Amino acid sequence: MKPKWSPQEEAIVSLLRSGEWVCIYNEIKMKDDRARLSAIRRKLAPIGYEVQSKPCTIHNHTSRILMRRITKAKPIPTNFPYVPSPQYKEHD
């Protein structure tokens, strides 16, 4: 089922859907883009996609601006064996 996007969400999704890292800060001047990205994440999760973020390395920003991309979500493994960490000690 294809999500329904608002015009602002559609603008963001159209930039990020290629799977390449994009700095949307310079591409779209939009008030409260983080709220739009949060809504996009909620709409993409049920269909198996996610929005990934990492600090921008494309531009020389003075603050911590993030690059983003949309990718297929990695499945959460359900059949992996439990291995306790070395710091964990079971009580007798």
Do residues 69 and 12 touch, judged by C-beta distance below 8 A?
no
The 10 Å CB-count burial string (b at 16+, else e) for 25-47 is beeeeeeebeebbebbeebbeee
pLDDT attached to residue 82:
60
Domain boundaries, given as residue ranges, for the chain: 7-72
Q: pLDDT (tens digit, 9 = 90+) per residue, 46-65?
A: 999 999 999 988 888 888 88
pTM: 0.72
Check residues 27 and 54 and name the one with the higher pLDDT: 54
Spatial contact of 11 and 28, defined as CB atoms under 8 Å apart: yes
* pLDDT for 39: 93
